[in-house]
Amino acid sequence: MSWNLSNMDTQRSCLSKTEIKAYLNKTLSEQDRFEIENHLLDCNMCQDAIDGYVQYPQELHENTFISSPLTKWLSIAASLLLLALSGLAIYKYHFANYSDSVFAQFYQKPDWDNQTRGSASNTDYAKAVQNYNQGLYQAAVPTFDSLLSKAEEDNQIRLYKGIAHLEMNQYAEADKELSTVRINSDLYFEEASWYLALLHIKLDKIQEAHAFLDEIIELKNSFYHEKAIKMKNRLQE
């Protein structure tokens, strides 16, 4: 069974002894029987209880629960498993939200200033800058590809293409473009490393994010030096 928070909120409560007795005596309505059988598909603890009552029917007429040591052990084990799975679901939910909050705190899309950073002046280049700055990433990416087909070594274009993919949650494409920039460009190495760190936080790959941040921190006069320290400290909270 796959557990998540919605399971915990909407799951039918476990069966009472009265419900089990009615179920085994076949005195339930068709709707109630359907609900109980649907619950039994996902609840090993209740299924164990019913199995125990089938084996020891006299227990249905006593106030004590199932007396079989094996069945009691199975019920306890199922309860412990339920608690463990629920705790794991809560942890994963909290950790995912925590990663998202760190990403939101530190992520800021850089504007592309064509006057100060652009080296080309053709129509495709101007269109790419405009679409990117306006958040029209689906339109920007084909223009990026067209430009890169003519100037594959233009790491500035590739950097912004990678960030556009990140904005669209296309993480594999973003990783590919940013990693290429990081390997091939000293000028954009730091920026590519910063956005790769953010990408890996988004993917909950915190160890990899730390590695990128450590490299940025070593560049003591870098633009992202202080930000990298703050992000690293936040990840260690």
Q: What is the pLDDT of residue 119?
A: 47
Give the CB-side neighbour count of residue 198, counting CA atoms within 13 A: 26
**Chain centroid, CA 50 distance in Å:** 37
Q: How many whole angstroms separate alpha carbon 101 and alpha carbon 47?
A: 40
Q: What is the pLDDT of residue 38?
A: 84
Residue 188 sits at the vertex; the CA angle it makes with 184 and 190, to the nearest 5 degrees, is 110
* Contact present, 173 and 138 (Cβ < 8 Å): no
Q: What is the pLDDT of residue 199?
A: 95
Q: What is the pLDDT of residue 19?
A: 84
| pLDDT mean by block of 10 residues, the chain; 237 residues | 38 76 84 84 80 71 49 57 54 59 87 57 81 92 92 93 94 96 94 95 92 92 90 86
Output the DSSP codes for 120-184: --SHHHHHHHHHHHTT-HHHHHHHHHHHHHH-TT-HHHHHHHHHHHHHTT-HHHHHHHHHHHHHH
Q: What is the pLDDT of residue 9?
A: 40
Q: What is the pLDDT of residue 3?
A: 34
Domains of the chain and CATH, by start:
5-97 (no CATH), 107-235 (1.25.40.10)
